C-alpha cells in the first residue's frame, strides 16, 4: 500500500486501496494498525503479568464455562490451540474433550497461508512447527465445526485482537459457511473497540474466565 496515495490525489483505480479485496482508506488503515500494535503490546504485557498463583484458578473457571457452552462429546470437531505468550493453557480441557468423544484439532501454521488443522490426542506424536509451536506430526487436514480462537483483546461487539499475523483472518475467509467461532481469554483482554476493519469477523461467543462478553447465536 502506497503511504502517499492520499496526499497526491485520487489514484486512477481502486487497486491501491484494496486490502484483502476490501476498499480501505490508506490513512485509516495505518492509524488502525498503529493503534492495534500499541494495544497488542499493552494487553500481552497485562496477560503475562497475571500472578502465577492466580493463573490455574482463572484457567479452571474458563474451562468450566467452555464445558457449559459447548458440552464436548461425540460429533463435535473442535479446533483449539497450543498456548503461547501467556495464553490460557487449555491442554487439560482438550484432554477431557477428547475423553468425552470430541475430535480435538490443533492449527498448523504455514507462513502467509491459511491455517490447516490436524487431529490431536493425548500422547500423540508432536513436532515443532513455525515459531517452534508444537503441532501434530501426522494426519490429514480436518475441517472444524467449532474454532476456539485465543484472544489478545476483545471488544464490546465480539471483535478479536489477535497476535498480529493475520492467520485466523485468512483462515476464516475461506469457510462457507463459517464454523462456530468462540473467542477465549482472560478478563484482562477486554477493550472498548478494536476499530474493526471490513475483513474482521466477530466471534459468535466470547468466553472469559470472569464471564461471557457476547453471544451472537
Q: Could you give the CA distance from residue 202 to residue 104 in angstroms, rounded to a whole number?
A: 23
Phi-psi label, residue 145: left if phi above 0, alpha if psi -120 to 50, beta otherwise: alpha
What sign has the CA pseudo-torsion 13, 16, 22, 24? negative
Q: Supply the pTM of this predicted model.
A: 0.87
What angle do helix axes 91-99 and 55-70 make, rounded to 10 degrees?
30
pLDDT (tens place) for every residue of the chain, 217 residues total: 222 333 333 343 444 455 566 677 888 889 999 999 999 999 999 999 999 999 999 999 999 999 999 999 999 999 999 999 999 999 999 999 999 999 999 999 988 889 999 999 999 999 999 889 999 999 999 999 999 999 999 999 999 999 998 899 889 989 999 999 999 999 999 999 999 998 899 999 999 999 987 777 6
Closest CA to 145 of 107, 115, 97, 178: 178
Closest CA to 206 of 189, 174, 172, 183: 183
* Domain boundaries along the sequence of the chain: 52-215
Considering just the CA atoms, what is the radius of gyration of the chain in Å? 18
Q: Report the CATH fold assignment for 52-215.
A: Rossmann fold (3.40.50)
Amino acid at each position: 500500500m502506497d503511504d502517499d496515495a492520499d496526499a497526491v490525489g485520487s489514484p486512477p483505480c481502486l487497486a491501491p486501496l484494496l486490502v484483502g479485496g476490501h476498499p480501505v482508506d490508506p490513512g485509516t488503515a495505518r492509524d488502525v494498525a498503529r493503534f492495534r500494535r500499541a494495544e497488542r503490546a499493552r494487553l500481552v504485557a497485562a496477560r503475562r503479568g497475571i500472578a502465577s498463583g492466580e493463573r490455574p484458578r482463572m484457567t479452571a473457571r474458563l474451562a468450566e464455562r467452555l464445558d457449559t457452552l459447548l458440552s464436548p462429546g461425540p460429533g463435535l470437531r473442535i479446533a483449539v490451540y497450543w498456548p503461547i505468550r501467556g495464553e490460557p493453557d487449555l491442554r487439560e480441557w482438550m484432554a477431557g474433550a477428547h475423553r468425552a468423544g470430541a475430535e480435538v484439532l490443533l492449527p498448523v501454521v504455514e507462513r502467509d497461508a491459511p491455517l490447516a488443522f490436524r487431529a490431536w490426542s493425548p500422547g500423540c506424536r508432536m513436532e515443532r512447527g513455525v515459531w517452534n509451536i508444537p503441532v501434530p506430526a501426522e494426519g490429514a487436514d480436518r475441517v472444524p465445526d467449532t474454532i476456539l480462537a485465543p484472544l489478545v483483546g476483545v471488544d464490546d461487539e465480539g471483535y478479536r485482537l489477535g497476535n498480529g499475523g493475520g492467520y485466523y483472518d485468512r483462515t476464516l475467509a475461506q469457510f462457507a459457511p463459517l464454523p462456530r467461532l468462540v473467542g477465549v481469554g482472560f478478563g484482562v483482554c477486554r477493550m472498548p473497540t478494536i476499530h474493526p476493519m471490513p475483513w474482521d469477523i466477530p466471534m459468535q461467543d466470547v468466553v472469559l474466565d470472569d464471564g461471557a462478553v457476547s453471544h451472537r447465536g
